[in-house]
Structure 1
Amino acid sequence: MTGIAYAAEGAAGGGAAGGLASFIPLILIFVVFYFLLIRPQQKQAKQHQAFLNDLKKGQKVITKGGILGEITGMTDGILTLEIADNIRIKVARDAIAGSQAGQEAKSEADGKEKKAKSSGS
């Protein structure tokens, strides 16, 4: 009878080490997700927040809705954008997606890629 008790005790001791080993893949998956997804997203959010804090009058921006305009007025949370001659709209500061110059450079690069692909075919 005591032999069974010793056998059960040995199995429990080995099971604890086996339980820890089963968590190692989960820990590795979390580490990979952190470095591939979470950390870059936090870095991008921090850069966008810095961009929003550095907005100035006269800067050309694009909203998340795709409206292009020039900043003509600013308060803490509201920007006034001139989208055409004497046409102004008010938008929340958080509605700004980025700089219009950055979007134009990106679209020019995309246009050059498409042109190169079409001339190469």
Structure 2
Amino acid sequence: MFATPAFAQAAGGGAASAVTSFLPLILIFGIMYFLLIRPQQKKMKEHRAMVEALRKGDSVLTQGGIIGKVTRVKEDGEIEVEIAEGVKVRVLKATIAQVINRTEAAAA
């Protein structure tokens, strides 16, 4: 019964309006990738390399705040850390936050 101006405007548009409507979303995703996702992936890669390079004699800091010396590295993702004279605990490699003092590799 009543004709509105909205019906008359619906016929226009096309591919150009679809691209311009998605352009802000694409830009937001690009910014989020470079500011959040990429640095986090880089940090994870560095942590994984640090954990894989652990060896006997390294002083480490766990995520729980315990500082100790690595006495044994196991293959199943665990290490043994001596936190005091004669006190050794088993710790998952993934929970190592930082290597404080790294031992030098033996000359071949």
TM range (shorter): 0.7 to 0.9
Q: How does 1:26-65 map to 2 (within 5 A)?
A: 26-65=25-64
Give the Cα separation in 1 of the matches to 2:60 and 2:73: 13
How far did 1:95 drift? 1.2
1-structure distance, mates of 2:59, 2:11: 67
- Residue in 1 that maps onto 2:79: 79
Greater percentage in strand: 2
Number of aligned residue pairs: 95
Counterpart in the other structure of 2:97: 97
CA distance in 1, matches of 2:60, 2:70: 7
Cα distance, 1:17 vs. partner?
Answer: 2.0
TM-score, normalised via structure 1 length: 0.71
Unaligned segments of structure 2, at least 5 residues: 1-7, 102-108
Higher helix proportion (structure 1 or 2): 1
For residue 16 of structure 1, report the CA deviation from its aligned partner.
3.5
What displacement does 1:57 show?
0.3
The alignment yields a C-alpha RMSD, in angstroms, of 2.1
Query: What is the match of residue 111 of structure 1?
Result: none
